[in-house]
Amino acid sequence: MGIAHQNPYLLHYYALRELPIEVERQVIKREKITFGEIDIDLAVIGSSHFLSLPNYFCEILSCLPSPHSANLLFQQQINTDFFHKNTFQNLDYQINISFHDFKKNEFIDFEKDLLWQPHLLCHSFEQESAITAIQILENQEKKIRIQTWHTYPEKLVAVQTQTVICS
């Protein structure tokens, strides 16, 4: 099933203790950054993205349901705007997920603009004409803000996430 044929209103959000091996196999592009003394592993995966802080937690947004895991801290099927807040050890964490609907011309312009923005990671699924992009919006000593965009051209929808981590 191609990305564009998946329904953006049936996304799955997961917070896990560690990154599952089956997700590792889906990595298309990956980058590791440092936040204070914490390493953050970010990746575009075949079904969306993950953000992993080894020894803390892992965030996954996916078009595909994940197999049940003893690793699971929280899961939610997402079909509308969503907010989740938690504390993992000494890190405060929050994620906002929002849906943006467009008209055809607006969507085409949005995707063009998205491709021209600076990204840490960006992948265009040429076959599906869909984009997944990850941006670092803010990286201060005690706070990092990471944004992702996932486009669904067939539905004229873009899904935006904003993850904020404070130590």
| String of DSSP letters for 20-59 | -HHHHTTEEEEEEEEETTEEEEEEEETTEEEEEETTTEEE
**Residue 43 vs residues 48, 59, 102, 154: alpha-carbon distances, Å:** 9, 11, 26, 23
Range of the domain at 136: 3-166
pLDDT tens digits along 24-76: 899 999 999 999 999 999 999 988 999 999 999 999 999 888 766 788 999 99
Strand 38-45 relative to strand 27-35: parallel, antiparallel, unpaired?
Answer: antiparallel
Query: What does pLDDT average to over the chain?
Result: 91
Q: Residue 3 above 60 pLDDT?
A: no
Tell the residue number behind the tokens 């051209």, with chain if given: 153
CA dist 34 and 30 (Å) reads: 14
Q: Residue 96 above 90 pLDDT?
A: yes
pLDDT at 52: 97
Tell me the percentage of the chain whose pLDDT exceeds 90: 78
The number of distinct structural domains making up the chain is 1
CA dist 82 and 90 (Å) reads: 23
Q: Residue 110 above 80 pLDDT?
A: yes
The upper half-sphere exposure of residue 40, i.e. CA atoms within 13 Å in the direction of its Cβ, equals: 21
How does residue 5 score in pLDDT terms, banded at 50, 70 and 90?
low
CA dist 147 and 110 (Å) reads: 16
Tell me the percentage of the chain whose pLDDT exceeds 70: 95
Sign of CA dihedral 32, 54, 138, 34: negative
